[in-house]
């Protein structure tokens, strides 16, 4: 694994522009994917907050994610 990093470093030092451009592009794609994940998490958070607020307005005060326990004894 260290050899691979050494080879990459040599290519960057020698000015292999296509190599450095590809490395940069790959890093940009990873950053973009990470940002998309955060954006979708933020969207999901907003939707869940909206749903909870809507339930509270309807009078349903049980907004926990756990199902209600009913007493089924006869």
Residue 62 or residue 49, greater confidence: 49
Does this model's pTM top 0.85? My answer is: no
| Token pair in block for residue 38 | 């955060």
Residue 17 or residue 52, greater confidence: 52
16-50 pLDDT, tens digit per residue, is 666 555 556 666 666 677 777 777 888 888 889 98
Residue 68 or residue 26, greater confidence: 26
The percent of residues above 90 in pLDDT, for the chain, comes to: 0
DSSP states of the chain: -HHHHHHHHHHHHTT-HHHHHHHHHHHHHHHHHHHHHHHHHHHHHHHHHHHHHHHHHTT-----SSPPPP----
Query: Given a cut of 70, is residue 6 above it in pLDDT?
Result: no
How far apart, in whole angstroms, are the C-alpha atoms of residue 2 and residue 4? 5
């Amino acid at each position: 694994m260290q050899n691979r990093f050494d080879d990459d470093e040599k290519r960057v030092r020698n000015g292999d522009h296509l190599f450095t451009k590809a490395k940069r592009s790959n890093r940009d794609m990873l950053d973009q994917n990470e940002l998309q994940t955060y954006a979708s998490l933020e969207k999901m958070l907003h939707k869940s907050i909206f749903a909870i607020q809507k339930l509270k307005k309807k009078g349903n005060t049980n907004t926990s994610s756990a199902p209600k326990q009913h007493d089924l004894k006869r």
